[in-house]
Amino acid sequence: MKNRKILRPAISSLKCDAIHTRSVWANWNDMQGAGGEPAYTAFEAITCEDCGAAVVLTTGQGGESHRRIDGTDCDGYIGTNEGPMMSYSYELPNVVDPVVAARAIAHLPLCVIEWGEASGREGYALALTGGGMDLSWEICEAFMCLWYAPPLAFCGRLQDMGKSAKTMRYVLSGARRSIQVARNWLASDARTVADLSKKARAKAAREKETA
């Protein structure tokens, strides 16, 4: 099998829209509309066991040869997209191309969710396709591979769990960026509150003098 190149965007290019994203409960098995219409579509890149190509499938697709799925000359097996496995979603702040996004995180145990009308939600999200002790590293990296600085809620949960040095350095650099951006925002808010507090005290003094 050929090794697939992983695209990791430069830290300086990561957008900060997702740093306040948190886990949102999602009962995948019970999410459907009154007429049985699907509440979501899960896009997952499944790797061919022979050639290593990542083929993006929707829920239920797969479980047969690469040739039958994609019309290629490869007879390698491609597993089934079984959809999200863990009962949480991680919202993406902007519209994405779910096929492109799923391919970008093909090396990670996550899929891209496109919400349907029956879900009562809009837009796109990430969801885990496998379980483990703590997948904060994978969640952070998935956001980064989609050009977002990782959510703070997961940056604080990172632990030394046997990841490669390359992965650790990359994800930790993203975490530092998220934390620094949050510090800058808080510092700006603190200055605003301090300025308003001064104005409020001055106003109170003037009102006392004229009372």
What does the pLDDT read at residue 54? Answer: 92
Q: What is the largest CA-CA distance in the chain?
A: 89
Establish how many alpha carbons lie within 13 A of residue 93's alpha carbon, considering only the half-sphere containing its beta carbon.
Answer: 15
| pLDDT band with cut points at 50, 70 and 90 for residue 3 | low
Secondary structure of 99-134 in HEC code, one letter for each residue = HHHHHHCCCCCEEEEEECHHHCCCCEEEEECCCCCC
pLDDT of 159 above 70: yes
What does the pLDDT read at residue 160? Answer: 79
Structure tokens at 91: 């919202």
What does the pLDDT read at residue 29? Answer: 79
Mean pLDDT of 91-102: 95
* Alpha-carbon separation of residue 3 from 53, 54, 59, 149, 171 (angstroms): 9, 11, 25, 26, 21
Portion of the chain with pLDDT greater than 90, in percent: 74
Q: What is the mean pLDDT of the chain?
A: 91
For tokens 């863990």, the residue is: 86
What does the pLDDT read at residue 33? Answer: 59
pLDDT (tens digit, 9 = 90+) per residue, 108-147?
A: 999 999 999 888 899 999 999 987 778 999 999 999 999 9
What does the pLDDT read at residue 32? Answer: 64
What does the pLDDT read at residue 77? Answer: 95
Q: 30 or 176, which is more confident?
A: 176
What does the pLDDT read at residue 169? Answer: 96
pLDDT of 1 above 60: no
Mean pLDDT of 37-50: 92
- Report how far residue 125's alpha carbon sits from residue 88's, in angstroms, rounded to the nearest whole number: 10
What does the pLDDT read at residue 45? Answer: 96
What does the pLDDT read at residue 2? Answer: 56
